Chains A and B, each alone.
Chain A
Amino acid sequence: SYVLTQPPSVSVAPGKTARITCGANDIGSKSVHWYQKKPGQAPVLVVYDDSDRPSGVPDRFSGSNSVNTATLTISRVEAGDEADYFCHIWDTDSDHQVFGGGTKLTVL
């Protein structure tokens, strides 16, 4: 089965840039989506199809995807960005949805 690998944690100071990676073989050929999940709340879609943003999501959130790594970039990080972030793809070979293990973003 397809496995998405994320670092368990990323720490960043306010105002700096956070980069969260999602690694898998040939992930560059797939559409990657990213969700923000805060405790007790529903996940929120922040980037879809590698690099598009839903309306209402700040342009500080951006995404990229190439070869074996997709990346969620959060610029000018704020305290309110502290959350778990999950990458997600549709594995068309199995028709299964796959989530990465999640990355806890800590704002120092």
Chain B
Amino acid sequence: QVPLVESGGGVVQPGGSLRLSCVGSGFTFKDSGMHWVRQAPGKGLEWVAVIWHGENKKYYADSVKGRFIISRDNSKNTLFLQMNSLRAADTAMYFCAREWEQKSNGAFDIWGQGTVVTVS
């Protein structure tokens, strides 16, 4: 059983929209802070957004603020990333990741395999 599985990636034109999903299993999803991280081709890891459990606080990287929306449905153990006004610079592999709050100060201990978004 794979703990995190992303879906929803694809090819979209500049200015278009896409919605990514990430389904969690094997851990208490509703108690976990969940993040989106991306890696553009040939580049490093870039944090995109976080949604905390409980109060559902959300934070975004400056590069996506105002265009992307992170949300979650705890009844379905699912994390979402609504991506609007997409740009070529958003082309990347998008990973969802769990924050290991119980045993660390912010480490990401579980990662999905990623889903590819191409804006062209």
Note whether A and B form a binding pair: yes
Q: Which of the 9-residue segments A9-17, A18-26, A75-83, A85-93 touches chain B?
A: A85-93
- A4 CB, min distance to chain B CBs, angstroms: 10
By a CB distance below 8 angstroms, the chain B residues around A89 are 106
**Does B47 lie within 8 Å of A96, measured CB to CB?**
yes
**Does A33 lie within 8 Å of B107, measured CB to CB?**
yes
**Does A42 lie within 8 Å of B106, measured CB to CB?**
no
**Does A48 lie within 8 Å of B59, measured CB to CB?**
no
**Does B104 lie within 8 Å of A33, measured CB to CB?**
yes
Given A42-B95, A95-B59, are A33 and B108 also a contact pair (CB < 8 Å)? yes
**Does B111 lie within 8 Å of A43, measured CB to CB?**
yes
By a CB distance below 8 angstroms, the chain B residues around A95 are 50, 59
By a CB distance below 8 angstroms, the chain A residues around B45 are 35, 37, 43, 86, 88, 99, 102
Given A99-B46, A102-B44, A102-B45, are A43 and B113 also a contact pair (CB < 8 Å)? no
| Interface residues of A, count at CB 8 A | 27
> In the docked arrangement, what's the CA distance between A26 and B2, Å?
37
By a CB distance below 8 angstroms, the chain B residues around A90 are 105-106
Task: Write the chain A residue with the least CB distance to B114.
Answer: A42
The 8 Å CB contact of A45, one of B95, B109, B112, is B109
**Does B95 lie within 8 Å of A43, measured CB to CB?**
yes
By a CB distance below 8 angstroms, the chain B residues around A54 are 109
Task: Identify 9 residue pairs between A and B in the complex whose beta-carbon atoms are under 8 Å apart, listed by A's number.
Answer: A31-B105, A35-B108, A42-B114, A45-B107, A45-B108, A49-B105, A86-B44, A95-B50, A97-B47
Q: Which residues of A contact B (CB under 8 A)?
A: 1, 31, 33, 35, 37, 41-45, 48-49, 52, 54, 84, 86, 88-90, 95-102
Q: Which residues of B contact A (CB under 8 A)?
A: 35, 37, 39, 44-47, 50, 59, 61-62, 95, 97, 100, 103-109, 111-114
